[in-house]
Amino acid sequence: MRNIGVFGGSFNPIHNGHIHLAKVVRDELCLDKVIFVPSSNPPHKDSDEFESNEDRLEMCRLAIADFKEFEVSGYELESKEVNFTVYTIRHFKEVYPNDNLFLLLGSDMLLSFDTWFRFDDILKNVTLAIVSRKKDDMKRLYEKAEVLSAFGVINVLDTRPIEISSTIIRKKIRNNEDFSCYLAKSVVKYIRLKNLYSNDKRGINSDN
């Protein structure tokens, strides 16, 4: 029986904070595999803010290329169902029926987890693995985990957070500021090549 991590998100773009979270959970909980699952492009999002499914999937592939325990799934991008996490977990339970599933979440997601569609059904099938994304939020995380423990198992991992925001990265790109320290080099190169997140889509200064 293996331990499989499922890590969903928009990954718009995938950054070093995402990789840090996956590495922490992999190491702390002895995961055999972490599957990154980019979500579909919501129709209400501005196209300049939310890049295409294909581009976000490719950036994920580039970002994890050096990690043999990481892989990317296009399940949510290809699914015709609404991308509720409970359906994604059902899918991976069917793919890995004899393995333990862990759902990786940042601290902000844990705090609102009980508002998610059928959150109790999610907790029947996975262990939540939580990594703090902000300083000084551990007390709130432990309190929330205690409340949710009535529905399932929640592991809050006490580790030093890396405070990186995809929103800030996109803003830096639009303002032609240096953003390379937040992302894998291959992802930076891809963003520049495709002119992603640029205000005018005419290009990004390659000197940044």
Predicted local confidence at residue 201, as pLDDT: 55
Which sequence spans correspond to the domains of the chain?
3-162
Contact by Cβ (8 Å): 1, 100:
yes
Give the per-residue pLDDT at 45.
54
pLDDT reported for residue 204: 41
pTM of the model: 0.91
* Residue 204 CB coordination number (10 Å): 21
pLDDT at residue 67, rounded to an integer: 97
A 10 A CB-CB count for 24 gives 20
d(CA 12, CA 74): 15
- In the predicted model, residues of the chain with pLDDT beneath 70 are 41-48, 200-208
Compute the chain's Rg from CA coordinates. 17
Query: pLDDT tens-digit profile of 86-120?
Result: 999 999 999 999 999 999 998 889 999 999 999 99
115-125 pLDDT tens trace:
999 999 999 99
Q: Provide the 8-state DSSP code for 119.
A: H
Residue 119: what residue type? F
Which CATH code for domain 3-162? 3.40.50.620
